[in-house]
Amino acid sequence: MVTVRTEMIIDAPIQVCFDLARNIDVHTQTVWRHTKERAVAGTINGLINEGETVTFQATHFFIRQKLTSKITEMKSPYYFIDEMMNGAFKSLRHEHLFEERNGMTLMKDILVFEAPFGMIGKVAERFVLKKYMKRFLEHRNFRLKILAENL
């Protein structure tokens, strides 16, 4: 099991950041373009809420795959948690945390995941997936920051 943590200060109100982070349309606009990520089932546009699911289809490592997540907890505008229901990982839990800091927002991600395939999966986690997932989150969060600060 691997934990990836990111932090980003955004010069925008906490509610704006919270809503942008759970907006499905914004999600698909802020991820890497080469993955061609799109929502294909569940809540496929607008704001996702507690108890709702979304299935994203994307290409990672030259393989088209689907991942279905459910929002299992939410307290607006402070946090929401999504957990993988079905997908390529053995398990995946993503905590999206927001703190107000002097009129700005500290946005944190805590992503905990486990790859399938036993020992091979553990090697992939440490040498490939941890770095890949951190870069993925940092890219998305930077793009989200630009959007929030330009509203």
Angular region, 22: left φ>0, alpha ψ -120 to 50, beta rest: alpha
Domain hosting residue 128, numbered range = 2-149
Does the pLDDT of residue 61 top 90, yes or no?
no
Predicted pLDDT at 11: 98
Query: What total number of domains does the chain contain?
Result: 1
- CATH number for the domain that contains residue 8: 3.30.530.20
CB neighbour burial string for 124-134, b if at least 16 within 10 angstroms, e if fewer: bbeeebbeebb
Q: Return d(Cα 99, Cα 80) in angstroms, integer.
A: 12
The residue-averaged pLDDT of 99-126 equals 96
The residue-averaged pLDDT of 83-111 equals 97
Q: Which residue type, as a one-letter code, is found at position 144?
A: L
Could you please report the per-residue DSSP string of the chain? -EEEEEEEEESS-HHHHHHHHTBHHHHHHHS-GGGT-EEEEES-SSB--TT-EEEEEEEETTEEEEEEEEEEEEETTTEEEEEEEESSSSEEEEEEEEEEETTEEEEEEEEEEE-SSHHHHHHHIIIIIHHHHHHHHHHHHHHHHHHHHT-
Mean pLDDT estimate for the chain: 97
Q: Return d(Cα 40, Cα 148) in angstroms, integer.
A: 25
The residue-averaged pLDDT of 98-102 equals 96
The residue-averaged pLDDT of 16-24 equals 98
Does the pLDDT of residue 129 top 90, yes or no?
yes
Does the pLDDT of residue 121 top 90, yes or no?
yes
The residue-averaged pLDDT of 53-58 equals 97
